[in-house]
Each structure stands twice: as structure tokens, then as C-alpha cells.
A and B are shown apart, each in its own frame.
Chain A
Amino acid sequence: MYDLYLNIFNKFGLPELLAKLSWPLFPFIGVAVLLIIVVLFLVLMERKILALLTVRKGPNRVGPYGLFQTIADAIKLLIKEDIMSCETNKVLFTLAPVVVFVPTMVIYGLLPYTSNLFAINLAAGLFLILAISSISIIGLVIAGWASNNKYSLLGGMRSAAQAISYEVPFFISAIAVAILAGSMNMNEIVGQQAGGLFSWNMWPSLVGFAVFFICCIAEVNRVPFDLPEAESELVSGYNTEYTGMKFALFFLAEYAAMFIMSVLVVTLFLGGYTSPFGIYISQLFCNLVLHNQMSLNFFVGIEQAFWLIFKTYVVIFAIMWIRATLPRLKADQLMAFSWKFLLPLSLLNLVIVTVYRYFIPG
């Protein structure tokens, strides 16, 4: 793609440096569009799935089967007046949603969606993803402090405590995957799991997979761990004072983080964009029918994207399913569960994985 873009510039005689500088703009725009579409669909999907599980009908008034419901919500939030009470710290109050939203957006660029469709391919991709994902917690604490309201302060403090205690098992179980794959480059992690269903990382580090999945739910503040915005106690915690576009940003960030965490779970443990049957069906189809290489890559790319989307939405359905069933944990139980239960489990998983890798080299 990049060399195609380069000879366009040469044809017009523009300086090459400009091409190099402006090239990363395109993947960023692609990621932003992907994010908006995904979140718009995800909000509606959550309401529909919850309605399905509780014998109700989801939103079906705005547009056919309620498809434009989220757009209507977004417009409503845009129109709403943006209230800021006088004592709040203006700068921090507006900064908080941005600090929560931007890290999630950056992670969108780091993950590989198909073998050649990815924004940035770094040698230590996994390391950067884990580092960035903990920045958005600071945004919650800023929101809690800046909105000068007792409930949000409690919400902010709780989210900080929860984030710190759930980040440690999150990182250790991610390290186990790096050991299995032998490298931190996301494409190699996925490549290493290419051999069909049984070569996924999920099987050797099953415990790690469970710990990682639970920590993803905690990272995204979903129900069993949604203490920071527990409606019944804290009247929706840190985003009590936010209205209008700022609230929309928080809302957007939560769903974007949910999607990207499920993509992360899929790429690390469920074999990313590789197909569960080992070989790609489109490859068979292409060899029989048409023989040129260009269309083969195109069809394989589509099938890889399909498998990634399919697995991600299975994981998202599981998160929503858990949201419909489980009650909320208390603050101290939350901490005890992570330090006393998840951390030893993830260390145990580390041992199992290294022993496994010692006997069966990658």
C-alpha cells in the first residue's frame, strides 16, 4: 500500500518526505471510522442481547429493528446542554473524558485485524498495548476528583483501587502468551496459533485465559466489577456530573474499550484472524476456480476478517451474558478476589506455560 502511495507523490513531483509524514494519517482515519461503526453497533447489540435474555423486546422503534437507535442517542447527547457546575475544576473536568477515550483509540491501531490489514506493526506490540491500556484509569480518577461531588469522588477512588489490583494478573497472564509465542509482535503471536483449533494459546494456558478474561471485564468496569459506577450506591459514580457530549465520550470509551479488549482476548488466546479449521476455505475455493494470486489474497483477507469478527462477537456476547446474570461484588471482596485469587492463579499459569514450552518447543 505504502509504495503505491509513494509513486503517486513522485508522479506529481511532490517531496518524498511529505509522503512519509502523511502516510500514518490513513490508518488513523481507518481506525477512527472502524471505532465509530463498531461502537454504534455495540451499544444497540448490548440492549438487544440484554432484552433477548430477559424475555423483552429491545429498541425497535427508531429505524428498522431499532438500527438507528444509537445514532438517535448520539444526536440527543450532542444536543443536550453541557452543564458544568461552578466549583468544578474546568480544565480537568473537560480533560477527563479525553484522557479516558484517547488510549483506547490508540490501542485500536496496534492490533492486527488481518495478516496485512493493521495500522502499526511493532516488534513489542503486546507491551505497548498493555502499557497504554492502564492510562485510561487516570482519566476516571480525574473525572471523579474534578466533578466536585461526593459520589463521584467515591467512584473515582474505587475505580483507581480496582484498576491497580486487576492490572497485575492482567499483565502476568499476558506475559504467559508472550512466552508461548516466543515474541511480543502481535502478528507473530497470531501466526504461531495458525494451526487450527488445537494450536490456539487457549489450550496450553487455560487458567491464564480465564484470568485474562476476568481481568478484561474488570478493566472495562463491566458488571461483576462495575463498582466505580454502581448505580444503586453511587448514583453512577464518576460520570454523575457529566452531561451532553462529555457523557457521550465516556459512554463511547466504555464500549470501545469493551470491543478492543475482546479483540485482544481473541488475538492472544483464540488465534486472532486464523480459521479454526487450520486452512482457509477461500484458499481451497481459489485453487479450484481461479488461479491468480491477487484475488486469492483478497479472499483470504476477507475470510480472516470474518473469523476475527466472529470470535470477537462470541466473546462480547459472553461479557453481556455475564452482565445479565451476576450481581456486583463489594469493594473489599473485589480487592481480595484479585490479590488472593487471580494473582496466584496467573503465577501458576506462568509456571505451567514455561514447563509446557520447555518440553514442546514452539
Chain B
Amino acid sequence: MNNILIETKKGIIEILRGLFTVLKHAFRPPITLEYPEKKPVLNSRYRGALALRVNADGSDICGGCKSCMKVCPCGDLIQVSTHKDENNKLVVDKFTVDLGRCIFCGNCTEVCPKKALIMTNEYELADFSRESLVFDKKKLCLTPEQSQKWHEALDKDIQGVN
């Protein structure tokens, strides 16, 4: 008989202890981030949408070496087509990335020798059709100031000081 009493006493105490731990939480500030109004703060390493950097005078840095095409896990996601101009320097005339199928792994940005292809903090990529998610060169290129900004951010990050 008395172990039932001890059992219930212990049970009631445990339930009350659980209840008051939950009540303690009532006096703590809520941690929800109200997304559309307040956007999360992201650092420069965040792997968002791809973008192509350009030089200060607008000519693009990408030398058309196509190594990013080879290292992408999805194979035909990045399409780069180049042609040789008069002093046989490669000129990139088509550079498309199908962001609908990209898994944002960052392989291409690591392997790019000139750090032309980078990953911005842009994560709102919803769109109305799959075709419009295939970004062509014009959509990918950043403005010179943006590329300069990203250049400094990446430098600071490589020394691990950002």
C-alpha cells in the first residue's frame, strides 16, 4: 500500500518539476526571427546563388578554362562556350548556369583559378518557370562595384580574419 503512496508522491513532484521548468521558459524572450520583415545576417562564406565577377572596367575576369564545368557534380549544369579571337585569347560568349538544378555545393567556386565565379548571399531564388532559373551571362555578371566588394570579402575570408 505505501509504495503506491510513495509512487504517487514521486510522480506528482516530477510532474510539477516538469511544469515549472516549462513555466520558466515563459519569461524568456522569444527566439523566432520574423523572416520577411527581419532578414538573417549572413557572412561572406554563405553559399547562395552563383555570380560572375567583372574587372573594374567591365570586362569579365573569366578566362573560359571550363574547369568549373568538369568539376560540377550534376555534369551539364554549367555550359561555357568560348571562341578564340585574333591574338588567340579565349573569349567567353555564352556562360549559362541552370540554378534550378544546382545543389550549391561550391565545387566550381573552389576550382576556379581566377576566383571569377563566386557564390553570393542571395538565397531568394523562387521563380515561375524552370526555364527562367537558367541564368545566362548577362544575369550572372555583377556590377564592377559589387565584384570589388566581393573581392575584398573573399580576401578577408581566406586569411580567416573576416
Please say whether the chains A and B touch (CB closer than 8 A). yes
A57 touches B19 (CB 8 A): no
Contacts A56-B30, A57-B34 given: A326-B25 contact, CB under 8 Å?
Answer: no
Q: Is A55 an interface residue (CB 8 A)?
A: yes
CB neighbours of A52 from chain B (8 A): 26
Contacts A53-B25, A55-B25 given: A325-B30 contact, CB under 8 Å?
Answer: no
Question: Which interface residue of A56, A57, A325, A326 has the most chain B CB atoms within 10 A?
Answer: A325
Q: Mark interface residues in B5-21 (1 if CB within 8 Å of A CB, else 0).
A: 00000000001001100
B30 touches A57 (CB 8 A): yes
Q: Is the interface of A mostly helix, strand, loop or mixed?
A: helix
Option from B15, B29, B31 in Cβ contact (under 8 Å) with A326: B15
Complex: A53 Cα to B22 Cα, angstroms: 6
Q: Is A249 an interface residue (CB 8 A)?
A: no
Q: Is A54 an interface residue (CB 8 A)?
A: yes
Q: Is B159 an interface residue (CB 8 A)?
A: no
B22 touches A325 (CB 8 A): yes
Per the 8 Å Cβ criterion, residues 58-116 of B in contact with A are none
B23 touches A55 (CB 8 A): no
Q: Mark interface residues in A48-68 (1 if CB within 8 Å of B CB, else 0).
A: 000111111100000000000
How big is chain B's contact interface, by range?
10 to 19
Option from A55, A57, A324, A325 in Cβ contact (under 8 Å) with B28: A55
Question: Which interface residue of B22, B28, B29 has the most chain A CB atoms within 10 A?
Answer: B22
Q: Is B129 an interface residue (CB 8 A)?
A: no
CB neighbours of A325 from chain B (8 A): 15, 18-19, 22
CB neighbours of B19 from chain A (8 A): 321-322, 325
User: B21 to nearest A CB, angstroms?
Assistant: 8
Q: Mark interface residues in A20-62 (1 if CB within 8 Å of B CB, else 0).
A: 0000000000000000000000000000000111111100000
- How many residue-residue contacts, CB under 8 A, span A and B? 30
B34 touches A324 (CB 8 A): no
Q: Is B3 an interface residue (CB 8 A)?
A: no
Q: Is B32 an interface residue (CB 8 A)?
A: yes
28 contacts between A and B (CB under 8 A): A52-B26, A53-B22, A53-B23, A53-B25, A53-B26, A54-B22, A54-B25, A55-B25, A55-B28, A55-B29, A55-B30, A55-B31, A56-B30, A56-B31, A56-B32, A57-B30, A57-B32, A57-B34, A321-B19, A321-B22, A321-B23, A322-B19, A324-B22, A325-B18, A325-B19, A325-B22, A326-B15, A326-B18
Top 10 A-B pairs ranked by shortest CB distance?
Answer: A57-B30, A325-B22, A57-B32, A325-B18, A52-B26, A325-B19, A55-B25, A56-B32, A53-B22, A324-B22
Binding site for A on B (CB under 8 A): 15, 18-19, 22-23, 25-26, 28-32, 34
Given contacts A321-B22, A322-B19, A326-B15, 17 further A-B contacts (CB under 8 A): A52-B26, A53-B26, A54-B22, A54-B25, A55-B25, A55-B28, A55-B29, A55-B31, A56-B31, A56-B32, A57-B30, A57-B32, A321-B19, A321-B23, A325-B19, A325-B22, A326-B18
